[in-house]
Amino acid sequence: MKIKLLFTFFVLFFLNINAQNYIFGKISTEDGVELTDVTVINIRTNERVVSNSDGHFMISGRVGDELRFVKAGYERVNKKMDENSISSSLQITLIKAATLIDEVEVKKGITGDLAIDSKNLNQQKKVQKLKSELAAYLSQKSDPRVLAARPGQFVQPKGEGFSIGKVKNRWDDVDLMKYLISALGEQYFIDLKIEKPQIQHFIYYVFAGGYERKNILKYGFCSDADLMRFQRAVFTRISSYRAPQTQK
């Protein structure tokens, strides 16, 4: 009888130690301003979430885990989880990073997230150059003198003109879905408890929730800001996506 009780005690103790909890908290500046789009990373599991518009976040974790808080323009913060951290809401304060001198030109922003930074910095130079030239081209306005008629050149009289039909987008939803999986990695979705065969289905589910992608499909280009908006959309849609599975 004593052996059974002792065995039961050790089983309960082991389950308690390895129990997975959810850690809640709020992120703000030194002045108390709520910070959105802060990346929160569990160093042990590599799970990552993004704070919402009110600065709140939720991530799975347990006692002993270390959370990292990263946002461009702010000092990176690491926080070790203890019993108090698990049982109560965290209050995280980010401090603005020192401003670089004007003479220093930064080609690519450093986020502090090793996984993202290593990927950005290891891109081929030709790809980086193409992206910068495309962004510069799209931001420029045409000089009216370029299209002006030359002396003696026939000018077509102005009229209502004619329609050439709708301009075809460079991307469709399938192209965007493939890019998101490539940019974020399948592990990003697996960490969110989305099984690998369901990743594409979940991305379409986020699209259906109102994720704005008109310009992305039009130009065939997804910026870092667009990628961050998608992560925020994932954060707001993940609960309702899991709900039907939980109710089964």
For residue 140, CA distances in Å to 3, 143, 220 come to: 79, 9, 18
pLDDT score of 155 = 55
pLDDT score of 126 = 62
pLDDT score of 131 = 76
Q: Say if residue 140's pLDDT is above 70.
A: no
Over residues 5-19, mean pLDDT? 48
Over residues 16-38, mean pLDDT? 84
Residue 203 CB neighbours (<10 A): 23
Q: Say if residue 102's pLDDT is above 60.
A: no
Distance CA 238, CA 230 (A): 12
Best-predicted range by mean pLDDT among 147-161, 163-177, 227-241?
227-241
- Name which of 78-92, 159-173, 175-189, 212-226 the model is least confident about: 159-173
pLDDT score of 217 = 94
Backbone angles phi, psi at 220, to 5 degrees: 65, 40
Over residues 210-221, mean pLDDT? 93
Distance CA 196, CA 193 (A): 9
Do the beta carbons of residue 77 and residue 67 sit within 8 Å? Answer: no
Full-model pTM: 0.36
Instruction: Kindly report the average pLDDT of the chain as a whole number.
Output: 79
Q: In which band, very low, low, confident or very high, does the pLDDT at 231 lie, cut at 50, 70 and 90?
A: very high
For residue 187, the number of C-alpha atoms closer than 13 Å in the C-beta half-sphere is 5
Q: In which band, very low, low, confident or very high, does the pLDDT at 8 lie, cut at 50, 70 and 90?
A: very low
pLDDT score of 110 = 63
* Residue type (1 letter), 77: V
pLDDT score of 21 = 83
N- to C-terminal Cα separation, the chain: 38
pLDDT score of 128 = 72
pLDDT score of 221 = 93
Q: Is the pLDDT higher at 33 or at 11?
A: 33
pLDDT score of 168 = 83
